[in-house]
Amino acid sequence: MAQQVNPPRGMRDFLPAEKARREAILSIIRDSYRAHGFDEIETPVLEDSARLHSGLGGDNEKLSYAVLRRGLTTDDLRAAESPLELADLGLRFDLTVPLARFVATHRAQLPGVLRAIQIAPVWRAERPQKGRFRQFVQCDIDIVGEAGPLAEIELLTASIATFGALGIEGATVRINDRRILTAMLDHVGFPAAEHDGVLITVDKLDKIGVDGVVAELRERGATADAVDALEQFLRRPAPGAAPFGESGIRAALPDGLVSDAVAELAVIGTAVNASVGAEAVVYDPWLVRGMGYYTGAIFEAGHPSLPFSIGGGGRYDGMIGRFLGDEVPAAGFSIGFERMVDLVQLPESDADRAIAIVHAPDADPALVVAVRDRFLRDGRRVRLLRRPKKLSVALDALAADGIREWVAVDAGADPAALEPRSLAAL
């Protein structure tokens, strides 16, 4: 019986053309973020298991892959009350927890304000389905050490510029603040002990609507008067569209709600919109984002043609302090790279420079190399291919790989006299 030769479920192989496309997109992202003053760092794929399960990663901790300690005995296996007791390492499930550890490790060598790029694979024990994988690439930028709104402004302007560099025009960023959400829940009467559960339900508003949110809150046993007050607020007519600013934010909130975060959020949105020359940032009073480590502004990027987000992030002061013992302000933004791969339309200029040298089986190797060297000197990307019996099939495969031209090299050919032929004309 034939053996299973597919990769593990939720993980993928990439053929040359697809790998080249992914790398081209990553190159655009790197160049754009570097132009905005961010520097790339790298961390190991493994972290201490205790660190990955320290409460910093939210629900993602439940999806982490554990690595068993070496030298375990049968008695160890029998005595363990949970699998995690047998693990000392784990595969990273995001890039934020490793960043926090990185800053704590290298703090003395880092600048007062670190602007970091991290682009790397992460692993989660997800249930594989369309668009959801167990191994995928994250593209993160983070600013560590900047406590004021300038960090959020830098993150958002750099990310919006990166969307533009990728050819994604018209992206918008919904923005909110966890402090405003907390103030809103207090205002309508939810006790602090219910906040996390209420936010989990409110986060489903765009999927299940007001009726669904209210029904779920009642099923959860949330404070009845507070649910009534929240429902009344959710059903009130939405305020008309207005330029981003403090007055617009307050108009979208319950009357009398007090939060110092409103003015700070207005500074962020106004500055970003002024920088990019468009109303790219909009206030969403019900944007939640599920990660419990967010402490301030949160944001989520989307595009009118897509039903899902293309990026997001927020401020997470306090996470790095868990490793250092003192507070270190931090904020970050992550691009949904796997979604970018299907969305981005790349120019074909690089492909136009690629050429295949299809040589006869009996052609002198020195001749083949001489022809190759001629095109390499012209700055071309060159692929060698021994001419098969079915030449048309091979040429179709070359075209599918993004190669646009080819030359045929027979025994005794003059390298200088060979003229490229177009694969598109076949």
* 3-state DSSP of 116-166: EEEEEEEECCCCCECCECCEEEEEEEEEECCCCCHHHHHHHHHHHHHHHHC
Residue 105: Cβ within 10 Å count: 12
Question: Residue 422's pLDDT is what?
Answer: 86
Question: What length is written for the chain?
Answer: 426
CB-hemisphere CA count at 13 Å for 2? 3
Question: Residue 238's pLDDT is what?
Answer: 67
- Span 122-165, pLDDT tens digits: 999 888 877 789 999 999 999 999 999 999 999 999 999 999 99
Question: Residue 265's pLDDT is what?
Answer: 93
Question: Residue 318's pLDDT is what?
Answer: 81
Q: Quote the CA–CA distance of 211 and 226 in Å, as a whole number.
A: 15
Please name which of 140, 138, 142, 139 lies closest in space to residue 113, comparing C-alpha atoms: 142
pTM comes to 0.86
Question: Residue 279's pLDDT is what?
Answer: 87
- 173: three-class secondary structure by DSSP: strand
**Per-block mean pLDDT, blocks of 10 residues, the chain (426 long):** 78 88 93 96 93 73 85 78 83 92 92 96 87 90 95 96 90 92 90 87 86 90 88 77 78 83 92 91 86 85 85 89 82 91 72 83 90 90 90 87 86 81 74
Query: In which residue are the tokens 């039903």 written?
Result: 307
- 196: three-class secondary structure by DSSP: helix
Residues forming a β-bridge with 87: 68
Burial class (CB in 10 A: 0-12, 13-18, 19+), 84: middle
Q: Quote the CA–CA distance of 292 and 408 in Å, as a whole number.
A: 61
Q: Which amino acid would we find at residue 38?
A: F
Q: Which amino acid would we find at residue 224?
A: A
Q: Quote the CA–CA distance of 26 and 173 in Å, as a whole number.
A: 21
Going by C-beta distance under 8 Å and a sequence separation of 6 or more, which residues neighbour residue 379?
A: 353
CATH superfamily, domain 16-343, is Bira Bifunctional Protein; Domain 2 (3.30.930.10)
